[in-house]
Amino acid sequence: MFISDSPEGTTAAGAACARGSNKGDVIALTGDLGAGKTQFVKGFVAELRSNDQVTSPTFTLIHEYSGGRLPVYHFDFYRLESADEVARLGFDEYLFGDGVCIIEWADRFPELLPVGTRWISLEVQTESARAIRGLEHA
Ligand SMILES: Nc1ncnc2c1ncn2[C@@H]1O[C@H](COP(=O)(O)OP(=O)(O)OP(=O)(O)O)[C@@H](O)[C@H]1O
Ligand SMILES: [Mg+2]
């Protein structure tokens, strides 16, 4: 377990995760509202040298960041109603795409995630501290 004591600490954890990532990887993020999942993705995308701005894909299924070492496909399952809906939006094609998939609220539809998915959980401890688990296998 890693304790991140600032938003920057969580971005750094995302960057570390990206350094070990390769085409086809799937990273599943879990944790409550405000746990730092989007913050983690910011570090992840920046490490891959994409200059694209990271925002929460709350109102669209996916944000795609290109121009870096690997394309990043960023999903947020929070507002999606069913696994069927996700599938209809073409989720599988991203899993088999040329980049890495990183998914907020992945535990809403765990059945959609392939074997070998890396699960990373973020847990609020105090206003500024987050416990991040699952980074160890990078
Ligand atoms: N150690 C920390 N790590 C990450 N974020 C932190 C930390 N301490 C404070 N914060 C604050 O917590 C918030 C985390 O927001 P973020 O959007 O990353 O959460 P999220 O998990 O993506 O939430 P949501 O479920 O709404 O998508 C930010 O406002 C950030 O500044
Ligand atoms: Mg978020």
Ligand nearest to the CA of 126: 1
Residue 57 has pLDDT above 70, yes or no: no
Q: Kindly report the protein residue whose alpha carbon is nearest to atom 12 of ligand 1.
A: 34
- The pLDDT tens digits for 74-105 are 999 998 999 999 998 889 999 999 999 999 99
C-alpha to C-alpha distances, 102 to 53, 72, 118, nearest whole angstrom: 15, 7, 9
pLDDT at 125: 98
| pLDDT value of residue 99 | 95
In SS3 terms, 62-128 reads as: EEEECCCCCCEEEEECCCCCCHHHHHHCCHHHHHCCCCEEEEECHHHCHHHCCCCCEEEEEEECCCC
Q: Can you tell me which residue has the tokens 């938003």?
A: 7
Give the mean pLDDT of 120-130.
98
Ligand 2 ion: residues within 5 Å (CB): 37-38, 56, 104
Ligand 1 pocket test target in 39, 56, 127 with most atoms within 8 Å of CB: 39
Atom of ligand 1 nearest to the CA of 105: 25
Rank 47-51, 66-70, 94-98, 120-124 by mean pLDDT and report only the highest: 120-124
> Which residue out of 1, 38, 120 has the highest number of ligand 1 atoms within 8 Å of its CB and is therefore the one to mutate?
38
Confidence at residue 53, expressed as pLDDT on a 0 to 100 scale: 73
Tell me: pLDDT of 10 over 70.
yes
What confidence score (pLDDT) does residue 67 get? 86
Which pLDDT belongs to residue 59? 61
Q: Which residues, judged by CB distance below 6 Å to any ligand atom, belong to the binding site of ligand 1? A: 4-7, 9-10, 31, 33-39, 56, 104, 128-130
Domains, the chain, in order of start with CATH, read: 2-133 (3.40.50.300)
